Amino acid sequence: MPHVRKQRERNALLVGLCIEACYDNPLFHEEDSRYPQDDLVRHGMGPTGGNGTPGEKGSRAKDYHVTTELPPSDVRFKKSFTSRQRSVVKIVAIVVIVVLVALLIGLLVHFLGAGTREKEEVPDKQPNVLFLSTTFRGRLRVVEGPFSIYKHDYSNMESEAYTLFSDAFLYKMKLVFQSSKYSVEYSHTEIESIMSGSVIVIFTLKFSPAISVTSNSEHFILSLLKRRMDGDLFTTDINSVTIHAQPITLTTTPAATSGQCSAITLPTCQNATTYHNTMYPNLLGHVSEHQAMTALSTYGELFTFPCYDYSSDFWCSAWAPECHGGRNIPPCRDYCEDVRKSCDGHYPSNFSWPVRCSALPVSSDPAVCRQNPYTPGKCIKVTDPMLEGCVHLGFTETAFPNYAGNIGETSSADMLMLLGTIESATMCSSHATYFACAAFVPKCSGSDVVGQHTIPPCKSLCEGVKSRCSIFMEIFHSPWPSSLNCSTFPDVNDTSVCMGYSQAHEPPKIEDCKKGDMRCDNNTCIPPSWICDGFLDCADKADEMHCASCSDEQYQCRPVSALCIEKAAVCDGITDCFEDVEEQGCVKLGEGTSSGVVHVHNAVSGIWEEVCADGWNITFSELVCKQLGYQYAVSYINKAQTPGRAKATLHNSPHNSSDPNVLQSFLTKSSTCPSNQVVNVRCGRPVCGTRPANYKSATRIVAGKEVEPGTWPFMVSLHGGPAERFFCGGTLISETWVLTAGHCLGGTTSPGGITLKIGATRRETYSEFRQVRKPKSLHVHAGYDPQTVDNDIALIELATPVFFNDYVRPICLPKWEHRTPVGTRCYATGWGKANESAMEYQRAIQEVNLDVVNWESCRQAIANSDIYTPYKLTPNMLCAGGGVGHDACSGDSGGPLLCPADSKRTAWYVAGVVSWGVGCAVPNIPGVYTDVPLYLDWIRNVTGNQLHI
């Protein structure tokens, strides 16, 4: 059998040489051709060879040339022969005779060897066709990007949220299959349902005509989705994707044939151009639709690569040229050059530009060649279905380029979808979509007096959306377009000049409070449980006024009891309330111009008083520093007092029955300071992990519910934009460093759009303990991979240090090589949503008890879960939880897993950073955290060893 195979290969080679000699011989030509005779096609992009592989030599069609008098397939001989031509004919005849002899020899060998064939090696067979199918049913899980958070409205097909998700998903699926080997058969995708956890999509892939399903088909489509179902809007868990074919009966569609006009059936070009009929051979030399489709499965990325808005139209005019007047119409030379200028060099490395632009016609006649659809400044009707939202807002006609430099609807739709999705996910600006329409699909206007032109967005609208939303665009790895410069736009209340002025200048909306809530500070809503609880949540103090149990001259010992004491007894060093609550938070170091100046709180006047330097010594400095949570005092100096500020003066011994370990025991209120100097103290090395304001009281709610101010003084909340929209948690590890998750910072490099709030348990209300800081620098781990979420850790350096007190303290870092033991009872804390279907983050910090679990057991639990797993567990990850209703959830990202540093649970360390999970609180499936002990070297290097690790 091998001998027969070799003989057949030799025969095929001789035939191939003969055909190649004929087609490459000068005896063959097209009469009256209008264009050069040089090839329009480079090797590798032509029709398939004898074995079906594009670009290999074998039986091939004559290279494609355009004529006006004759169809491209009409090839003739010259009428007279020269002696040279007669010689060539003889050579051809000899070659044909040799071929015939070789075929006879091959047949003899074939029949003579038939008796021994069964013992010879059998060639590999193609996979057997199992059945025919037009439907593949699948599931996948979206785990990152603006569509990764489940919305309740996804269950309503009429909702705006469902429409936005559906449009984006179906559009992405179309791009996935356009450049695949099933690009011919792929028809469309239908979404069956969208479920929570993060976001699970049940969908159906439709193919027409039916495809032959082999043992490899499902695997191929599965691999295709894993490789390509990814990007700015969707990051898909590759392990969650499943595909199953459903057998049906085959239906067929007639294929286009050479030399005849027929309907376009190439899926990438069908209904994608202004014409509907084509003819072969095409510009690439394919003589049939089958050859064109075969090449398309390899080179389909030419159509989908985002380098030029009209590149798909151009390649359609090359692959399936318009059939007009019995011949096909190639693209014009300048159209080819426009696409080449933008795309050549940007395609994958295995692609080379396949068309010789110089061989194409130059004409303005559409009957000669296809013009570039892009006409700068020309008003056109908005037709892309993805821009339907803009049409509803009145943007029915537009012109390109738009104000971001895009020259077509495709790229404009992508930007509109991105900004609209970010608006929906973060509520960064209620006018983001309107601005996107005005910038990317600008309204076209014009008259007899004023020519056609587009109306830009107003400067104030552009600046408002940019300031509020650009930080989230960076986090999602899609920064604000560099060419979209707000300062170039006009800003007047006239829609004939610019769009969106009234939207930009409308007064802020005052949202309705929930039933039973109290409104204060104009637009702050306070739940009933926060009224008269001893903590100020309103800057105007409305929530703690008129609390019936105590008079205005009294202080209530909340949150531990309802006891009333005189305000003069507060911060005097003598215990009057249970757990000394009135003696907490009495001393602080000043900020700004009074940085480091010792202050004591006067409860009667409600102000902070500077401490007079008279009689001060290092002992009092040590006392202050230890009271504030530091180990020792570095130094102190005397400095000039602030004029007009009330003073507290020292006396030599503490008051009777007072605590000698707090500064207020040694102070007396005074309006004078003989030296006119106050004390400035520098403290060194903070005590970490302690919670002095964590009161053991029956009023405190735990076990997965709200905790009160001071419970976890290490917590930090991250907010984005000028509206300070909450988006992640963090943990304070020193005066100037915050630990968080890598995915919380994502692709952002500029710290200016982020605000950090430390010391406030309640997220959206006023707090007298809150310290607000801006970042100085952002540091995402160099090994962080958004596809696997490995090394999901980051550090934020603060522009100015925080000052420690009872409500702001640093957490301890774990000891070197200290892996948290399995079974350790820890806490996860954060403002995350109560469950997967919740629409809002929690108002106050929630805490939940979790046990650290075995890594291998965690890996198996995730792998065996019925819910799709977003990522694979790596050795850099730690697992905790798994109990019913106990877990971190969306919004807890970046927050800590806090574990006890001693047996009495009086100090705590950060064992993990909230990273990801399979849903929220799914029974028997733990949550996943970045294992902090493995990153101590990295933390030390980034912080310059400032943390005494």
Among the listed residues 792, 887, 892, 931, the single catalytic one is 792
Beta strands in 503-655 (DSSP E): 518-520, 524-526, 554-556, 564-566, 587-589, 598-602, 607-611, 630-640, 647-650
Average pLDDT value for the chain = 78
Decide if pLDDT at 808 tops 70. yes
Does any domain span residue 604? Answer: yes
pLDDT at 667: 86
Element (H, E) at 444: strand 443-445
* Closest listed residue to residue 802, CA positions, set 867, 733, 744: 733
Same-domain check for residues 385 and 338 = no
Same-domain check for residues 924 and 775 = yes
Last residue of a domain, one of 488, 517, 535: 488
Does any domain span residue 77? Answer: no
Does any domain span residue 875? Answer: yes
Q: Are 881 and 743 in contact (CB under 8 A)?
A: no
Decide if pLDDT at 476 tops 70. yes
Any idea what the CATH number is for the domain that residue 308 is in? 1.10.2000.10
% of the chain with per-residue pLDDT over 90:
27
Does any domain span residue 619? Answer: yes
Tell me what the mean pLDDT of segment 653-681 comes to.
Answer: 83
**pLDDT digits over 225-258, tens only?**
888 887 667 888 888 888 888 765 323 333 444 4
The answer to whether 743 is a known catalytic residue is yes
pLDDT at 704: 52
Same-domain check for residues 441 and 308 = no
Same-domain check for residues 211 and 316 = no
pLDDT at 250: 28
Count: domains in the chain: 5
Any idea what the CATH number is for the domain that residue 678 is in? 3.10.250.10
Same-domain check for residues 291 and 178 = no
- Distance, in Å, from the CA atom of 263 to the CA atom of 567, rounded to the nearest integer, reads 89
Does any domain span residue 61? Answer: no
The answer to whether 29 is a known catalytic residue is no
Among the listed residues 429, 767, 893, 915, the single catalytic one is 893
The answer to whether 487 is a known catalytic residue is no
pLDDT at 486: 96
Same-domain check for residues 282 and 431 = no
Decide if pLDDT at 377 tops 60. yes
- Distance, in Å, from the CA atom of 842 to the CA atom of 729, rounded to the nearest integer, reads 12
Does any domain span residue 414? Answer: yes
% of the chain with per-residue pLDDT over 70:
77
Same-domain check for residues 386 and 308 = no
- Distance, in Å, from the CA atom of 867 to the CA atom of 584, rounded to the nearest integer, reads 47
Last residue of a domain, one of 465, 488, 511: 488
Backbone torsions φ then ψ of 278, nearest 5 degrees:
-140, 175
- Distance, in Å, from the CA atom of 554 to the CA atom of 568, rounded to the nearest integer, reads 8
List C-alpha distances in Å: 175 to 164, 306, 348, 409: 17, 11, 16, 16
- Distance, in Å, from the CA atom of 635 to the CA atom of 608, rounded to the nearest integer, reads 22
Does any domain span residue 798? Answer: yes
Any idea what the CATH number is for the domain that residue 154 is in? 3.30.70
Same-domain check for residues 813 and 905 = yes
Segments forming the whole domain that contains residue 913: 705-943
Does any domain span residue 676? Answer: yes
- Distance, in Å, from the CA atom of 189 to the CA atom of 206, rounded to the nearest integer, reads 6
Same-domain check for residues 884 and 746 = yes
**pLDDT digits over 153-163, tens only?**
888 888 888 98
* Closest listed residue to residue 287, CA positions, set 41, 614, 22: 41
- Distance, in Å, from the CA atom of 615 to the CA atom of 770, rounded to the nearest integer, reads 32
Any idea what the CATH number is for the domain that residue 751 is in? 2.40.10.10
Among the listed residues 599, 743, 779, 886, the single catalytic one is 743
Same-domain check for residues 728 and 828 = yes
Last residue of a domain, one of 442, 458, 488: 488
Confidence (pTM): 0.62
- Strand arrangement of the beta sheet that strand 754-758 belongs to: 771-773, 754-758, 715-720, 725-732, 737-740, 794-798, 775-780
pLDDT at 435: 96
Same-domain check for residues 470 and 610 = no
Give me the sign of the Cα torsion angle 523, 525, 531, 535. negative
- Distance, in Å, from the CA atom of 504 to the CA atom of 495, rounded to the nearest integer, reads 13
pLDDT at 236: 85
Same-domain check for residues 880 and 744 = yes
